Structure 1
Amino acid sequence: MKASKIAYKPVGLALGVVGGLAAGALFRQTWKVLGHDEDAPKATDEYRSWNEVLTAAALQGAVFAVVKAAVARGGATGVRGLTGSWPG
């Protein structure tokens, strides 16, 4: 296994945790602005519409995917800077 892959493992795990926390916070703030409510609806909330529940789920998925990709790309770029080779 290449040294860059070994170096990236713990970095990738740590960045994944931080990215997940950041994505959750970003989604909550985005929902407050777009949803005009403090909390996003749960799928089982009988008082929320299908449209609201599915919109929240789609937005949450998009935010998490973008943050995950940005964090992974940034981590890989950082490892390349430290080791001289791409970890993938």
Structure 2
Amino acid sequence: MKASTVAYKPVGMALGALGGALAGIAFKQLWMRLGHEGDAPNATDEDRSWREILIAATLQGAVFALVKAAIDRGGAVAVRRLTGTWPD
């Protein structure tokens, strides 16, 4: 196992936690800008329509995937700049 891979593991975990928090904030802002008040619906929220629940779930998944990819890629680039090798 490469040293850059070992060094990246704890960094990747910390970045993942930070990314989850940032994605949650970004999704909440997006949901409010789309004209919805309060939190996005849960799948078991009886008072919300199927359409609203599925749209919220789709947007939330897209935001989380985008933030995760950006943070993972940025972390890998930073490791390469520091160590000269790409983490696996």
Identity %: 67
Paired with 2:52 and 2:84, the residues of 1 have a C-alpha distance of 47
Match of 1:15 in 2: 15
TM-superposed deviation, 1:34: 1.1
Gaps spanning 5+ residues in structure 1: where?
none
Paired with 1:36 and 1:21, the residues of 2 have a C-alpha distance of 20
* 1:45 equivalenced with 2:63 (yes/no): no
Match of 1:34 in 2: 34
Paired with 1:39 and 1:51, the residues of 2 have a C-alpha distance of 16
Match of 1:66 in 2: 66
Paired with 1:36 and 1:65, the residues of 2 have a C-alpha distance of 22
SS at match of 1:5: helix
Paired with 2:37 and 2:6, the residues of 1 have a C-alpha distance of 44
SS at match of 1:40: coil
Alpha-carbon RMSD across the aligned residues, in angstroms, is 0.7
Gaps spanning 5+ residues in structure 2: where?
none
